[in-house]
Structure 1
Amino acid sequence: MDKTISHFEKVDILFSNAAIHFALKDFSDIEWDEFKPKLEEELKAAFITTKAVLPLMKKQKYRKLVYISSSLSHQPLPLFYCSWHSQRCAEFFIKYLAQELGAYNITANTLAPSMV
């Protein structure tokens, strides 16, 4: 990130897309150790990348944060328990960012394409 900022001297947009493998299981069959990585790593990726660009974006007073989710966050499918929870958690994280950063004219949005 430091090399990018020193070369371009600005960040116009953060496009965050993390997709961690997860167990395709019903809730009754899944263990916490199978559930935790999907939830933790995807939110961690959004958190770390956002923290890296935010100081510069605040100084610029107008930028965009875009995070990829999935239609599964609004219409869950059988066996996608881990994915649904991970994406819903991330979407609320992004909503809070949008509220907090609006004062800096920074938008935070989620794109949720459907399954292919």
Structure 2
Amino acid sequence: METRTVLVTGAAQGLGQEFAVALAGRGYRVAGLDLVPQPETAGRILDYVELVADVTDEAQIAAALDRVIDRFGTLHIVVNNAGVYPAKPFEETTPEDWRRIMRVNLEAPFLVVRAALPHLRAAGWGRVVNIASAAVFTAPPTMVPYVASKAGLIGFTRALAGALAPYDITVNAIAPSMVRTATAERTVGADGGFAQVRARQAVGRTQEPSDLVSTLLYVVDEGSGFLTGQTLNVSGGSVYL
């Protein structure tokens, strides 16, 4: 079987880094894209393409994908993981806050998939995975723009699944709870926000990046071709769909 190539956005740290490392460990060739260099991720993967680019910039995305094709010759999988989630009372949310969150969380996946599609079609097989959030279903009141952007991403996933099905490309979303990452700890505090989330879960611990790896590997697997347009809620039982 041909070795598959995957692009992971937001790969410098946290969930994106764990995804990149796990995929490489399963034999995938991995390219990571982030706004900053990714020395830690690159140090954990033997054959890694580090792409420093802005996921909201079409020209930078196109140039990054050209590098992936130059290096690996093909592209099969896109994991749209990059995102931002500042918590702020709604009345303090500015139009600039709203636009930034929408651009990174919703417009960027559109731009990345749009740029990647010719390569996925040329490969004759593909997977698109969008990292949404269980916050869409729990709707925390201090994250209105974030919840709206991730709800839009779920809608994008559903509609795109039908659009790309003729090319043997599946499109699915994974909706985690609040995952313990350095970014999350900076955003919500070392434990305060996590404690509130744990109180809503059936599983009484904070979600770690490793808790999502098996779900990602399942979604991108060769045998998961009949799974598309779905949102897999991996949130410790904070909500049931």
Aligned to 2:72: 8
Q: Name the SS for the 2:140 alignment partner.
A: coil
Equivalent residue in structure 1 for 2:128, among 37, 46, 65: 65
For 2:155, the aligned partner's letter is F
TM-score of the aligned structures, taking structure 1 as reference length: 0.88
Q: Write the mapping of 1:3-42 to structure 2, written as runs, cut at 5 A.
A: 3-26=67-90, 28-42=91-105
Q: TM-score, normalised by structure 2?
A: 0.45
The structure whose residues are more often helix, as a share, is 1
Q: State the identity as a percent.
A: 27
Larger radius of gyration: 2
- Tell which deviates more after alignment, 33-42 or 11-20: 33-42
Contiguous gaps of at least 5 residues in structure 2: 1-64, 180-241
- Greater RCO structure (CA 8 Å; 6+ sep): 1
Query: Which residue identity lines up with residue 151 of structure 2 in the other structure?
Result: R
Aligned amino acid, residue 102 of structure 1 = A
- Work out the number of aligned pairs and report it: 115
Q: Counterpart of 1:113?
A: 176
- The answer as to whether partners of 1:65 and 1:109 remain within 8 angstroms in 2 is yes
Deviation of the 1:31 alpha carbon? 3.2
**Aligned counterparts, 1:90-109, within 5 A:** 90-109=153-172
**Runs of 5+ consecutive residues of structure 1 not aligned to the other structure:** none
Instruction: Report the CA distance between 1:21 and its aligned residue.
Output: 4.4
Q: CA RMSD in A?
A: 1.6
Structure 1 residues 70-107: Cα deviation after superposition (integer angstroms, max 9, x where no partner): 11012211211111001011111121111100011100
Which amino acid is the alignment partner of residue 74 of structure 1? F
